[in-house]
Amino acid sequence: FKNDDSSTKFFTVANVLFKFTDEQQAQHDAIVAKMEKDDGGYYHEQYEQELDKLYSQITPVLRQYNEETGIYEEVEDTNNLTVEDAYNKMVIALSSAQAEGVNKVGDTINEFIYTYGEDTGMFNAESNYVVGIDSEGNAVSSFVESFNDAAIELYNNGNGQIGDISGLVRSEYGIHVLFYTGPCVNLFDGIDSSFTLNENAIETLYNTRVNILVDKTYFDVLYDEIYADNYAYFENANMNFLRENYNIKEYGGRFDDLYE
């Protein structure tokens, strides 16, 4: 990643989505369509009121971790949890987690994703969503405008803290809650041409998660690559051995009974 002042700065965010139901999505699209072809009889205030009412009807899914199955399973909500209730729980939990370090923050955000989230792109993802901001402050991203704006606000000109949380962000999909998960940076600056990993570099690899939401470090990734390469090497060696030694022998007269 380029570090000069004129270059685009990239950072990552995690997302919990409280999603519209299919029926609510259809209502949202109808309201927006009505506003877009307004002939003067549909006022902006009315448009906002209808959207406010629709967004207020979104209810969170609720999942709990099942120790026996090892997965989060959807459960019935007996407390009529609202999006605002879930958001307040996240704010409180994050405040406590930030005092315990980055990995605890990552584990806490991950729990939010599986407890409430309906953005399947976040499930088991090895990387979070990457957003860029250019030197003029514009988003470099394919996400919707409200998502980009909230992400850039969390970035805060490079002053964002890992675990910072957005407000409730509306989009055409429902309501998002974004979490700042850090800048994209070069893990090693000024590495020499020999690419020798000294003790400090190995320790950095061993202690740095690829994604703070996933308990997998760069050391794990490096190990997987080496293991995969070794496996491929041995497989190729076996195939070459078979190619060199494989032959067919025909024994005349041995198979006549097969034709009877």
Statement: the pTM of the whole predicted model exceeds 0.85? no
| CA proximity to 105, closest of 82, 128, 84 | 128
Residue 220: what pLDDT? 87
Non-local (6+) Cβ contacts of 15 within 8 A are 113, 117, 119, 121, 122, 129, 147, 176, 177, 178, 179
DSSP code for 20: P
Q: Which of 166, 170, 186, 180 is nearest to 129 (CA)?
A: 180
Using the structure block, give the residue that is written with the tokens 């026996």: 68
pLDDT grade, residue 171 (50/70/90)? Answer: very high
The Cα–Cα gap between 94 and 65 comes to: 19
Q: What is the pLDDT of residue 204?
A: 81
Sequence-separated (6 or more) residues with CB below 8 Å from residue 117? 15, 16, 17, 123
The answer on pLDDT for 206 being more than 60 is yes
- Cα gap 91→108, rounded to integer Å: 11
Residue 259 reports pLDDT greater than 70: no
Residue 260 predicted with pLDDT over 60 = no
Helical segments of 57-101, H only: 83-98
Residue 110 structure tokens: 């991950």
Going by their DSSP bridges, the two strands 71-74 and 63-66 should be labelled as: antiparallel
Task: Tell me, letter by letter, the H, E, C secondary structure of 127-166.
Answer: CCEEEEECCCCCEECCCCHHHHHHHHHHHHHHCCCCCCEC
